[in-house]
Amino acid sequence: MVIYVWEGVYPPSDDTFLLLDNLRLTGKELVLDVGTGTGILAIKCALKGCYTIGIDVCRKAVCNARYNAKINGVENLTCFLCGDATTMLRSGCKFDVIIMNPPYLPSTGDPRIDEPLWNGGPHGISLTLRVLNDVDRLLKDDGKLYFVISSLSDYTSILSKLKTMGLSSKVLDKKKLWFEELFLVEVRKCLTSE
């Protein structure tokens, strides 16, 4: 896989590779990549045979992802859209897998310092919460959601919210960095038997 990173687009980093190393796909899934950036995660899914839709709020990132998909020969298995999280997806569009590497660091409150590429809002969980609120609408009953979260964010609120929503979750992997620890969380709907 060859990935070019255009200026102003989030470069693949430790958090990206935490997801890449732990994605278990059969190659038949319909995948949604929220905050696709360079498209590296979507392209990895497509190289495994999955059809993947990547969404990013940054038009330049969408163009960068399309370019990367083309040079990796998977433009027929990917679709990249410019939009805000999942709001542009209509109801009835259900995915087998949703992946996201959202901005997860808490904002400082100073717009001169806060970089949109990493600014996850006051508690570092703004985008994650928005996607979680849309999980019922977008994730198949047997589907999975994978996301990265930081020890610096309010991750306990996310784990608590998952329980109240009737979703099961587990930390699949961790990565210790010098100033934080990253967690890769897998979420599944809790299927009830009648």
Q: Is the pLDDT of residue 55 over 50?
A: yes
Lowest average pLDDT, out of 47-56, 111-120, 145-154, goes to 111-120
Mean pLDDT of 128-144: 87
For position 113, what pLDDT does the model report?
64
The share of the chain scoring above pLDDT 70, in percent, equals 88
CA dihedral 125, 130, 132, 136 (to 10 degrees): 180
pLDDT-derived band of residue 124, with 50, 70 and 90 as boundaries?
A: low
Q: List helix spans (H) across 2-71.
A: 14-22, 40-47, 59-71
pLDDT-derived band of residue 194, with 50, 70 and 90 as boundaries?
A: very low
Neighbours of 188 (CB within 10 A): 16
Q: Is the pLDDT of residue 111 over 80?
A: no
Whole-angstrom Cα distance, residue 42 to residue 48? 10
Lowest average pLDDT, out of 10-19, 60-69, 123-132, goes to 123-132
For position 119, what pLDDT does the model report?
60
- Asked whether the beta carbons of 166 and 189 are under 8 A apart, the reply is yes
Q: Is the pLDDT of residue 120 over 60?
A: no
For position 106, what pLDDT does the model report?
60
Lowest average pLDDT, out of 11-25, 56-70, 110-124, 154-168, goes to 110-124
Average pLDDT, the chain: 87
Q: Quote the pTM value.
A: 0.89
What does the radius of gyration of the chain's CA atoms come to, in whole angstroms? 16
Residue 170's identity, in one-letter code, is K
Whole-angstrom Cα distance, residue 79 to residue 95? 14
Residue 133's identity, in one-letter code, is N
Residues 6+ apart with CB under 8 A from 170: 185, 186
